[in-house]
Amino acid sequence: MTGPELREPDLPRTAKVRTGALRTGWTTGTCSAAAARAATTALVSQTVQTAVDVVLPDARVVPFAVQRCEVGPARAEAVVVKDAGDDPDVTHGAHLTATVRWSDAPGIHLEGGIGVGVVTKPGLGLEVGGPAINPVPRQMIRDNVGAVVDLVVRGVDVTISVPDGELRARRTTNARLGILGGISILGTTGVVRPFSTESWRASVVQAVSVMAAQGEPTLVLATGGRTEKAALRMLPELPEVCFVEVGDFTGAALRQAVDDGLRDVVFVGMAGKLTKLASGVLMTHYTRSRVEPAVLVDITRELGADDALVDAVAGANTARHAYELWEAAGVLRPAGDRLCARVAEVLTRFGGLPARVAMVDPAGAGVVAATEPAWVSS
């Protein structure tokens, strides 16, 4: 069987074996929402805030310390310091700052200030020219500010800034992605989970073994929380123990599946991770692998697409950008099916187990392509 060279890069040197539980942290999105809520509360009450409660996307309420707060009649500012837990990244310790002013127009008007990157290329799911504040953090900021102010009748201008964000961004891939001038405000759950550590790899291996011990025949590997939810909807007949959130450690999970005698593997992911896997990379941590545009270009050519689409995909900024180009050209389903087939071939060749693959849309709302047609959302 031919195909790309199979590679499983080792973990970053910063990943350490931990004997105890890893401490979770908070995303830049959560810290921005906390700062915005604290500043809005200060503006409304005209009192300095030293702590604030924040509502996460799963409706949990968590407390945050406010590092600094200033308030005046028409403006308030608050700072929350990011704690990334036991998986610190370049934004660990960053001062997420929210400046809130009253506005004449009802609603919330969100802007990026100093140290928050500006989007200059498509493919990120954000408006070109706008701040690099992702959809879930935007909604978190709206929800938490809206808990303090009735946005139907009053308006606020909210500016998120990070004083040293431009310097921190130099240690990220933002510039390559077309995010210039600062960091991105990220997060989908509000919580930083230490996916990149040796302990997370150990937990994936353990989860596979626990599933196998239950006598279940089908292992479902999902790359993250949104893909796991999509997988649960896709295969509702399977017990929850069959679903393992694999993070970056697909290779480790497959080896354990073989060791445990499993014979049926399903993999569910989004375009970026699937593209890495299709190119033969079985450990997909961002520091050890990158999306190979050649895979997406080859698939586009296989469809018989015109040169304009092939060239556009070749110049795509991200795998998501290529996804959007396929979608706009009306070829998302056949292109996605081919991408899933390539991933299935890689996984089968690596583990020796027959693998089935599904691709979830960027929002995690549904399956848009798969090796099994019945899985695709109508």
Categorize the per-residue pLDDT at 9 as very low, low, confident or very high, splitting at 50, 70 and 90. Answer: low
Quick one: CA torsion of 319, 323, 293, 281, rounded to 10 degrees?
60
The residues near 328 (Cβ < 8 Å, ≥ 6 apart) are: none
Put simply, whether the predicted model's pTM sits higher than 0.85 gets the answer no
Written as one string, the DSSP assignment of 288-301 is T----HHHHHHHHH
SS3 4: coil
Sequence ranges of the domains in the chain: 25-192, 198-375
Q: What are the structure tokens assigned to 49, written together?
A: 């805030």
The CATH code of domain 25-192 reads: 3.30.2110.10
CA distance 42 to 148: 10
Place of tokens 């702590």: 51
pLDDT digits (tens, 9 = 90+) for 119-152: 988 877 889 999 999 999 999 999 999 999 999 9
Tens of pLDDT, residue by residue over 167-209, are: 999 988 788 778 899 999 988 788 876 654 565 676 688 788 8
Strand ranges across the sheet with 68-71: 68-71, 75-81, 95-103, 155-161, 107-112
Which is it for the CA torsion 72, 76, 77, 80, positive or negative?
positive
